[in-house]
């Protein structure tokens, strides 16, 4: 078979990597894979047991086995997704213990599910990745992308959006190839792919496999892939097969050797079934070799020694990113902007919802201000409280989008594509104007319709507080989103904490009556500070002071300043509250950064 010509992009000398495991085991406690049952004894289940294997540069090593055999788990360990501290037995790279952080940057790992931005086109997806991962600016990125599009046979869909369940885009097979492309952009020396041919027709599957073979042969890349239904033409391209069955390695060697072993154990390979398919079916009957590392190792020994020294040098180098922080922020801001702008449900829903809510609430609370001098305070306070509920809870709509993006973010940052701080900054830059627009769409009609203080400063302050509120809420949701495992737990947690914030804000239970053990919630409440700010804006200052307030807790005809004093609110807090809100916004963003940092570098699985 003719292999496509693949040349290295950067022209630099590729470092060659040999990956080995020795008696590698990985176990999970029953509690991790079964639902916890009261009284049930907790035991451990081995997902992988004493696996010895080796993947060499210039070769395609296939991990084969039936469903559930442990292929993905082995790949995740080798890719540094499952960190070595959770594994028994060493994983070495060029005879050195696996340095996860470094190894993730020199390898590409394509997972079984294609996690891509649905609203970007194929070309945009590859271009943003290339701009983030390659040095040399847009021209280098564009050249790399057009080459990859050609090599992966994606030229004809370059301008088509990836798509998702609700928005039709490219086919499943094309998505698979885009996922492979995304992980090949930076020309990694080691490529690990979970089921590269799943979803592909036989021609496309062969095309992708030929490309991988060519990369191994011409560039000395180490290629490891998992497969469970290999075709005839594809298995010919494998240099080596690791056969797994129930987490045990039954074979690590060439296909030829595997065929000999099958025959020597009395198996007869049926006509029309290839040797690997058959071996997967009968893998349980193959005895485990003492050492499943194939002979011929000595041929590579010299290679290993020289590779080891090159690797050691590479390890010493400080981990560097392709772009400066500023450039990363620029690229990520652009990508994030397109994603938000094209997410019609989010963009349109947020803006229309804010405007409609502003107009409706404005008409509903129109009587909150009876006449020029008397405020129906119960009604006004109700309006402020409701406004805050609306503004704070409306940001949870972004939760599924955040969660989807988190997967991509962790994949990219854990493999050294860019800094997490750049992502947090880019996210903030896009949300600042977008949420300002949302806040203004709400406050402009509602402020004047309800008849709050009729002066421009009052309106501007009210809008500023509303903007801070949506920013706080956005940062809060982003932070929880970084933390929670899924949408349902995210929603429940956010709803629960928001409820507690509302309860202890001072609106339902005065601060003095709040139980001591809950007083911290009063100060942490996202409602408390904007709520007080709204009240100060309305009843404080020269204009508020002259205002009569009636109908609050049975007290009639208080002046604005007396009223605030009665509630224990200092007018001087007007700007301090804004500072506190700013601290909340920054605090949640820093917390979000730390959680994402932990997830990306310490525990990407
Ligand atoms: N985090 C986990 N929690 C529960 N079970 C797990 C976990 N990780 C792996 N397993 C179990 O370990 C076994 C091996 O899983 P793995 O995904 O590695 O198999 P696989 O060979 O890749 O299967 P497939 O070809 O179907 O993808 C399975 O029985 C799986 O249910």
What SS3 string covers 548-582? EEECECCECCEEHHHHHHHCCCCCCHHHHHHHHHH
The ranges of the chain annotated as CATH 3.40.50.300 are: 19-33+44-296
Dist. CA 367 → ligand 1 center (Å): 62
- The CA distance from 237 to 216, in Å, is 11
Nearest-CA residue for atom 30 of ligand 1? 68
Q: Decide if pLDDT at 313 tops 50.
A: no
Determine which helix (DSSP H) or strand (DSSP E) holds 30, and give its type and residue range.
helix 30-33
User: Which of 27, 65, 71, 78 has most ligand 1 atoms within 8 Å of CB, for mutation?
Assistant: 71
pLDDT band at 109 (very low <50, low <70, confident <90, very high): very high
Dist. CA 166 → ligand 1 center (Å): 29
User: Which of 66, 73, 193, 486 has most ligand 1 atoms within 8 Å of CB, for mutation?
Assistant: 73
Take residue 21 and report the two structure tokens written for it: 């495991």
Q: For 591, phi and psi rounded to 5 degrees?
A: -60, -40
| 10-24, 198-212, 412-426, 558-572: range with lowest mean pLDDT | 558-572
Mean pLDDT value of segment 293-304: 41
Dist. CA 152 → ligand 1 center (Å): 29
Over residues 510-528, the pLDDT tens digits come to 777 778 888 888 888 888 8
Nearest-CA residue for atom 26 of ligand 1? 67
Q: What is the pLDDT of residue 307?
A: 40
Take residue 161 and report the two structure tokens written for it: 């959006």
CA 74 to ligand 1: nearest atom: 18
Q: What is the pLDDT of residue 545?
A: 59
Dist. CA 48 → ligand 1 center (Å): 10
Dist. CA 111 → ligand 1 center (Å): 13
3-state SS class at 24: strand
Q: Which residues of 263-300 are buried (b: 16+ CB within 10 A; e: fewer)?
A: eeeebeeeeeebbbbbbbeebeebeeeeebbeeeeeeb
User: Which of 24, 67, 70 has most ligand 1 atoms within 8 Å of CB, for mutation?
Assistant: 70
Over residues 173-188, the pLDDT tens digits come to 899 999 999 999 988 9
Residues 6+ apart with CB under 8 A from 576: none
Most confident region among 34-38, 328-332, 376-380, 384-388 by mean pLDDT:
328-332
Per the model's pLDDT, the better-predicted residue between 458 and 556 turns out to be 458
Dist. CA 106 → ligand 1 center (Å): 26
CB 202 within 8 A of CB 209: no
Nearest-CA residue for atom 25 of ligand 1? 67
CA 112 to ligand 1: nearest atom: 27
User: Which of 68, 83, 485 has most ligand 1 atoms within 8 Å of CB, for mutation?
Assistant: 68
Q: Decide if pLDDT at 605 tops 80.
A: no
Which pTM does this prediction carry? Answer: 0.81
- The CA distance from 12 to 16, in Å, is 12
Q: Which residues are registered as beta bridge partners of 418?
A: none
Nearest-CA residue for atom 6 of ligand 1? 33
CA 244 to ligand 1: nearest atom: 21
Determine which helix (DSSP H) or strand (DSSP E) holds 50, and give its type and residue range.
strand 44-55
Q: Decide if pLDDT at 304 tops 50.
A: no
- The CA distance from 63 to 280, in Å, is 11
Q: Decide if pLDDT at 162 tops 50.
A: yes
Dist. CA 43 → ligand 1 center (Å): 17
Mean pLDDT value of segment 273-296: 70
Per the model's pLDDT, the better-predicted residue between 302 and 2 turns out to be 2
Alpha helices by DSSP H, listed for 79-163, are: 100-106, 122-133, 137-151
Q: What is the dihedral of CA 340, 345, 350, 355, to 10 degrees?
A: 130
- The CA distance from 323 to 131, in Å, is 8
- The CA distance from 511 to 298, in Å, is 77
CB 261 within 8 A of CB 243: no
Residues with CB under 6 A from ligand 1: 28, 32-33, 47, 65, 67-73, 228
Q: What is the pLDDT of residue 433?
A: 93
Dist. CA 69 → ligand 1 center (Å): 7
Take residue 512 and report the two structure tokens written for it: 């003095």
Nearest-CA residue for atom 13 of ligand 1? 68
CB 244 within 8 A of CB 64: yes
End-to-end alpha carbon distance in the chain: 38
Q: Which residues are registered as beta bridge partners of 191?
A: 108, 223
Q: What is the pLDDT of residue 147?
A: 92
Dist. CA 72 → ligand 1 center (Å): 7
Most confident region among 202-216, 341-355, 363-377, 577-591 by mean pLDDT:
577-591
User: Which of 29, 32, 33 has most ligand 1 atoms within 8 Å of CB, for mutation?
Assistant: 33
CB 104 within 8 A of CB 39: no
Nearest-CA residue for atom 7 of ligand 1? 33
Sign of CA dihedral 183, 211, 176, 84: negative
Q: What is the pLDDT of residue 265?
A: 81
Dist. CA 73 → ligand 1 center (Å): 6
CB 46 within 8 A of CB 23: no
Q: What is the pLDDT of residue 294?
A: 43
Nearest-CA residue for atom 29 of ligand 1? 68
CATH architecture, domain defined by 19-33+44-296 = 3-Layer(aba) Sandwich (3.40)
Q: What is the pLDDT of residue 518?
A: 83
CA 76 to ligand 1: nearest atom: 18
Q: What is the pLDDT of residue 230?
A: 80
Dist. CA 193 → ligand 1 center (Å): 16
Sign of CA dihedral 543, 544, 545, 546: positive
Q: What is the pLDDT of residue 370?
A: 52
Q: Decide if pLDDT at 8 tops 70.
A: no
Of the candidates 77, 55, 68, which has an alpha carbon nearest to the alpha carbon of residue 224? Answer: 55
Of the candidates 186, 139, 149, 183, which has an alpha carbon nearest to the alpha carbon of residue 8? Answer: 186
Q: How far is CA 207 from CA 18, 171, 212, 216, 366, in A?
A: 25, 16, 9, 14, 68
Dist. CA 119 → ligand 1 center (Å): 30
Specify the pairing of strand 548-550 against strand 558-559.
antiparallel
Dist. CA 42 → ligand 1 center (Å): 19
Q: Which residues are registered as beta bridge partners of 249?
A: 244
Dist. CA 68 → ligand 1 center (Å): 5
Q: Which residues of 89-125 are buried (b: 16+ CB within 10 A; e: fewer)?
A: bebbbbeeebbbebbbbbbbbbbeebebbbbbbbbbb
- The CA distance from 440 to 423, in Å, is 26
Q: What is the pLDDT of residue 600?
A: 80
Q: Decide if pLDDT at 237 tops 80.
A: yes
Q: Which residues are registered as beta bridge partners of 108?
A: 191
Per the model's pLDDT, the better-predicted residue between 139 and 199 turns out to be 139
Identify the residue whose tokens are 């073979």: 213
Provide, rounded to the nearest whole percent, the portion of the chain with pLDDT above 70.
Answer: 84
Could you give the count of Cα atoms lying within 13 Å of 53 in the half-sphere of its Cβ? 30
CA 47 to ligand 1: nearest atom: 12
Cα Rg, the chain, nearest whole Å: 30
User: Which of 72, 79, 81 has most ligand 1 atoms within 8 Å of CB, for mutation?
Assistant: 72
Nearest-CA residue for atom 16 of ligand 1? 70
CA 65 to ligand 1: nearest atom: 21
Q: Considering the chain, what is the average pLDDT of its residues?
A: 82
Dist. CA 275 → ligand 1 center (Å): 24
């Amino acid at each position: 078979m003719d292999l496509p010509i693949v040349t290295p992009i950067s022209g630099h000398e590729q470092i060659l990597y040999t990956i080995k495991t020795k008696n590698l085991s990985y176990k999970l406690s029953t509690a991790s894979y079964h639902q916890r049952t009261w009284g049930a004894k907790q035991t451990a289940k081995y997902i992988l047991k004493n696996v010895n294997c080796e993947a060499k540069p210039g070769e395609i090593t296939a991990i084969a086995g039936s469903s559930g055999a442990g292929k993905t788990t082995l790949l995740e360990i080798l890719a540094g997704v499952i960190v070595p501290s959770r594994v028994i037995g060493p994983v070495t790279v060029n005879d050195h213990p696996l340095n996860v952080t470094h190894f993730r940057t020199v390898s590409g790992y394509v997972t079984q599910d294609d996690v891509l931005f649905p609203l970007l086109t194929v070309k945009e997806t590859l271009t943003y990745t290339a701009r983030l991962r390659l040095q040399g600016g847009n021209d280098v990125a564009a050249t790399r992308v057009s080459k990859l599009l050609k090599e992966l046979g994606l030229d004809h869909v370059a301008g088509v959006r990836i798509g998702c369940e609700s928005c039709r885009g490219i086919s499943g097979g094309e998505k698979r190839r885009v996922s492979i492309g995304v992980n090949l952009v930076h020309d990694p020396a080691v490529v690990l792919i979970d089921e590269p041919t799943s979803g592909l027709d036989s021609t496309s599957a062969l095309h992708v496999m030929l490309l991988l073979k060519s990369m191994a042969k011409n560039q000395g890349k180490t290629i490891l892939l998992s497969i469970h239904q290999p075709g005839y033409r594809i298995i010919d391209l494998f240099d080596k097969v690791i056969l797994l069955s129930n987490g045990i390695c039954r074979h690590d060697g060439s296909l030829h050797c595997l065929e000999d072993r099958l025959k020597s154990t009395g198996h007869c390979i049926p006509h029309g079934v290839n040797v690997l398919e058959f071996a997967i079916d009968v893998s349980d009957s193959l005895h485990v070799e003492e050492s499943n590392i194939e002979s011929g190792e000595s041929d590579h020994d010299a290679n290993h020694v020289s590779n080891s020294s090159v690797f050691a040098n590479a390890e010493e180098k400080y981990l560097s990113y392709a772009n400066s922080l500023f450039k990363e922020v620029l690229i990520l801001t652009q990508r994030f902007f397109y994603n938000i702008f094209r997410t019609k449900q989010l963009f349109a829903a947020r803006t229309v919802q804010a405007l409609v809510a502003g107009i409706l609430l404005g008409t509903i609370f129109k009587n909150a201000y009876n006449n020029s001098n008397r405020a129906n305070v119960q009604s006004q306070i109700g309006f402020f409280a409701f406004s805050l509920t609306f503004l704070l809870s409306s940001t949870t709509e972004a939760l599924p989008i955040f969660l989807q993006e988190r997967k991509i973010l962790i994949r990219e940052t854990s493999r050294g594509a860019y800094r997490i701080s750049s992502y947090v900054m880019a996210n903030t830059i896009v949300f600042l104007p977008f949420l300002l627009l949302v806040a203004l769409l709400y406050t402009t009609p509602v402020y004047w319709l309800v008849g709050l203080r009729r002066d421009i400063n009052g309106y501007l302050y009210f809008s500023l507080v509303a903007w801070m509120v949506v920013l706080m809420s956005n940062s809060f949701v982003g932070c929880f989103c970084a933390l929670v495992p899924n949408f349902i737990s995210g929603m429940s947690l956010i709803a629960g904490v928001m409820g507690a914030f509302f309860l202890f804000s001072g609106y339902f239970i005065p601060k003095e009556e709040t139980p001591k053990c809950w007083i911290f919630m009063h100060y942490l409440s996202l409602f408390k500070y904007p709520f007080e700010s709204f009240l100060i804006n309305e009843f404080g200052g020269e204009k508020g002071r002259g205002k009569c307030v009636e109908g609050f807790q049975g007290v009639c005809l208080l002046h604005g300043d007396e009223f605030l004093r009665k509630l224990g609110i200092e007018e001087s807090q007007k700007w301090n509250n804004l500072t506190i809100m700013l601290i909340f916004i920054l605090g949640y963003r820093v917390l979000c950064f730390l959680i994402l940092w932990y997830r990306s570098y310490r525990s990407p699985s």
